[in-house]
């Protein structure tokens, strides 16, 4: 019997050798799904960065939901989900899970693209695309970090930043890297360093503008320095940006009767991106604040291009730079009008009144009905700054910017605003510098990573 079993063994071995012919390592190295790729080329990195749904459509709209350009009627408010109601009334428990997780999703995309690029040694044949890819990855990481910082860390203050909590700065795609919160100083230093590096790598302009170019990096730097109250650098970068991309749209050429009069990817757009859908302010239930609406002159074309009249006499926003009438998915990108306003503000703050008003009037010239615009004047730079901030709100409504302006201006003190909502007879207040201007880190993140939560009284 032992003999027989050894016979079987021999035979099996023979057959085994036959099968081994197939089962050599290569046979099982075939990819299961051809659509699965281990990123290894510049093309792979670029494809990750060209994921518009991930990197251009997932910024938070919670800021716009929380700002004061709009209000909700009781019945619309009551029809909202609990989540929507909580966000709208600045509830401490308002959900921010998606904001956090999508922004860090962007960081992962940027890091994976960055790692893929850095694993490739550039040579003469690919140096341009190598620099472009790396620059974009750095831009997206910094732009996402900036949004995370603006939502989940307190407003920047140069004197205290080194001791205040910043955000987790994930610099690799490695799952084993521990999540820790950097200081606010480190956070902004990383953001500006990434953007400066990006600006040096990126070509002057990118096509399409869903990709950042040098102008976008300068624009982002202007925004970041503005949030840091560093008006010198903010003004300089806005200027650099405008040197590359000065175009403004003449609103006389837009058709205000269209449901969405402004196109996406239009001439003013330097970097195109938008946000997740807001929980509470979908069209047309978000009504434009009446006083704010009335603050536009009748000859101001924005009054007709940005807003539509509802059957009940109220007004709703319709002029999104996303090419849509939706207010709950605002344009979140960078456009020339914002740069003119930043340069104007920084000039005014530096005491250069005329330079400031010149920028403001250049912009408004394109916004009024042809032949009806009288350039604005001011007696001093302080007055000019007031005009600029007023026009800034009017120009950038529905652009997810108001909330960040409220944060920084409240901190400054002079232009602070008390926000008030009234629903079902109940009054909700958000005083200036309230801790609720900084959102809570999602409890899931605290639970899984053990990082520190933001302060609430």
Partner 1 sequence: MKYLTILLAIIILINEPAYSQRLVKGFVTAADTQEPLEGAVISTPKNKVITVTNNKGEFTIMVYQDSDSLGISFTGFVTLQVAASTQPVLRIELQRKQGQLGEVTVISNGYQTLNRARTTGSFERIDSALYSREVSTDVLSRLDGITSGLYVAKTEENTGYYIRGISTLYAGTEPLIILDNFPYQGDINNINPNQVQSITVLKDAAAASIWGARSGNGVIVITTKKAQYNRTAHITVNSSVAWQKKPDLFYSRNFIPSKDFIDVEQYLFGQGFYDDALNDTYGWPLISPVVEILNRKRNGDIPETEANREIEALRGLDFRKDLSRYLYQNALQQQYALNLSGGTNMLAYIFDIGYNQNESVVAGNGNKRLTLHASTRFTPFKNLEFETETFYTAGKNTYNGISKIIPGQDKFNLYPYAQLADANGNALPVPKDYRMGYVDTAGSGLLADWLYRPLNEIKNADNTSVLNDILLKASLKYRINNGLDVSISGQYEKNYNPVRYYYNSNAYTFRNLYNLYSYNDGAAVTHAIPGGGILDKSLNVLSAYSLRAQAGYDKIFGNSHITALAGAEVQQSRASGQLNRYYGYDDDIIAFSPMDYINYYPLYGNFGYGQVPFHDDLSDVVNRYTSFYANASYSLKNRYTVTGSARKDASNLFGVTANQKGVPLWSAGASWKISEENFYHVKWLPSLSLRATYGYGGNVRNDLAAVPTITYTGGDPPTFLNSAFINNLSNPQLSWEKTGILNIGLDFTGSNGRLSGSVEYYLKKASNLIAPAPIDPTLGFDYMNVNTAHLSGKGIDLKINYLVLNRQLKWDVHLLFNYATNKVTKYLLTALAVPGSYAGYGNIITPIEGQDPYALISYRFGGLDSAGSPTGFAGDQKSTDYASLIYNATWDDLAVGGSTRPPIFGSLLQTFTYKHWQLSFNVSYKFKYWFRRPTISYYALFNNWTMNADFEKRWQQPGDENKTTVPSMIYPYDFFRDQFYQLSEATVEKGGIIRLQDINLNYSFPTNKLLRNASGTLQAYIYASNLPVLWRANKLGLDPDYLELPPSLNIAFGIRADF
Segment 424-443, which members bind partner 1 (CB under 8 A)? 442
Q: Beta-carbon neighbour count of residue 295 at 10 Å?
A: 14
- Of 66, 61, 79, which Cα lies nearest the Cα of 428? 66
175 lies in the binding site for partner 1 (CB under 8 A): yes
Whole-Å CA distances, 267 to 193, 208, 260, 335 = 28, 11, 16, 9
The Cα–Cα gap between 381 and 386 comes to 9
92 lies in the binding site for partner 1 (CB under 8 A): no
Q: How far is the CB of 19 from partner 1 (least distance, A)?
A: 4
Q: How far is the CB of 22 from partner 1 (least distance, A)?
A: 4
277 lies in the binding site for partner 1 (CB under 8 A): no
Beta carbon nearer to partner 1, 265 or 368: 265
What tokens does 49 get? Answer: 């960065």
Beta carbon nearer to partner 1, 97 or 428: 97
Of 129, 264, 266, 358, the one binding partner 1 (CB under 8 A) is 264
Beta carbon nearer to partner 1, 83 or 236: 83
Q: Which residues in 107-126 contact partner 1 (CB under 8 A)?
A: 107-109, 111-112
Is residue 40 within 8 A of residue 74, CB to CB? The reply is no
Q: Which residues in 129-168 contact partner 1 (CB under 8 A)?
A: 168
Is residue 393 within 8 A of residue 338, CB to CB? The reply is no
- Of 328, 316, 338, 329, which Cα lies nearest the Cα of 391? 338
Q: Which residues in 290-309 contact partner 1 (CB under 8 A)?
A: none
- Sequence-separated (6 or more) residues with CB below 8 Å from residue 242: 336, 339, 340, 343
Q: Which residues in 207-236 contact partner 1 (CB under 8 A)?
A: 208, 210
Residue 115 burial by CB count (10 A; 0-12/13-18/19+): exposed, middle or buried? Answer: middle
Q: Which residues in 40-59 contact partner 1 (CB under 8 A)?
A: 43-44, 47-48, 50-54
Q: Which residues in 336-395 contact partner 1 (CB under 8 A)?
A: none
Of 70, 134, 141, 170, the one binding partner 1 (CB under 8 A) is 170
- Three-state SS at 423: strand
Q: Which residues in 15-44 contact partner 1 (CB under 8 A)?
A: 15-16, 18-19, 22-23, 25, 27-39, 43-44
């Amino acid at each position: 019997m032992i003999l027989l079993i050894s016979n079987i063994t021999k035979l099996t071995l023979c057959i085994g050798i036959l099968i081994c012919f197939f089962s050599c390592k290569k046979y099982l190295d075939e990819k299961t799904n051809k659509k699965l790729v281990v990123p290894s080329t510049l093309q792979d990195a670029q494809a990750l960065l060209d994921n518009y749904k991930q990197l251009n459509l997932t910024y938070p709209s919670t800021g716009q939901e929380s700002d004061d350009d709009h209000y909700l009627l009781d019945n619309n408010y009551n029809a909202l989900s609990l989540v929507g109601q909580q966000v709208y009334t600045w509830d401490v428990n308002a959900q921010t899970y998606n904001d956090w997780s999508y922004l860090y999703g962007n960081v992962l995309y940027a890091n994976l693209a960055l790692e893929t690029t850095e694993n490739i040694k550039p040579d003469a044949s690919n140096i341009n695309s190598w620099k472009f890819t790396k620059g974009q990855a750095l831009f997206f990481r910094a732009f996402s970090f900036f949004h995370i910082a603006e939502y989940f860390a307190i407003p920047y203050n140069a004197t205290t930043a080194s001791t205040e909590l910043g955000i987790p700065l994930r610099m690799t795609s490695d799952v084993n890297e521990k999540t820790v919160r950097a200081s606010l100083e480190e956070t902004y230093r990383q953001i500006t360093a990434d953007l400066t590096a990006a600006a040096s790598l990126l070509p002057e302009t990118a096509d399409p503008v869903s990709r950042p170019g040098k102008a976008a990096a300068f624009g982002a730097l202007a925004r970041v320095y503005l949030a840091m109250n560093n008006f010198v650098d903010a003004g300089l970068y806005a200027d650099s940006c405008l040197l590359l991309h000065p175009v403004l749209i003449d609103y006389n050429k837009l058709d205000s009767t269209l449901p969405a009069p402004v196109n996406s990817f239009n001439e003013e757009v330097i970097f195109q991106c938008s946000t997740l859908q807001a929980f509470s302010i979908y069209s047309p239930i978000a009504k434009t604040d009446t006083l704010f609406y009335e603050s536009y002159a009748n000859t101001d074309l924005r009054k007709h291009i940005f807003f539509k009249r509802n059957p009940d006499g109220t007004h709703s926003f319709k002029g999104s730079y996303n090419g849509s009438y939706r207010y709950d998915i605002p344009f979140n990108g960078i456009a020339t009008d914002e740069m003119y306003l930043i340069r104007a503000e920084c000039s005014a703050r530096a005491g250069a009144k005329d330079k400031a008003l010149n920028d403001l009037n250049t912009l408004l010239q394109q916004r009024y009905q042809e032949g009806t615009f009288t350039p604005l004047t001011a007696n001093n730079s302080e007055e000019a700054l007031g005009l600029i901030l007023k026009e800034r709100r009017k120009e950038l409504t529905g652009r997810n910017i108001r909330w960040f302006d409220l944060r920084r201006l409240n901190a400054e003190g002079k232009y602070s605003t008390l926000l008030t909502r009234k629903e079902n007879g109940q009054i909700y207040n958000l005083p200036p510098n309230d801790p609720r201007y900084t959102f809570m880190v999602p409890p899931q993140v605290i639970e899984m990573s053990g990082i520190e939560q933001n302060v609430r009284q």
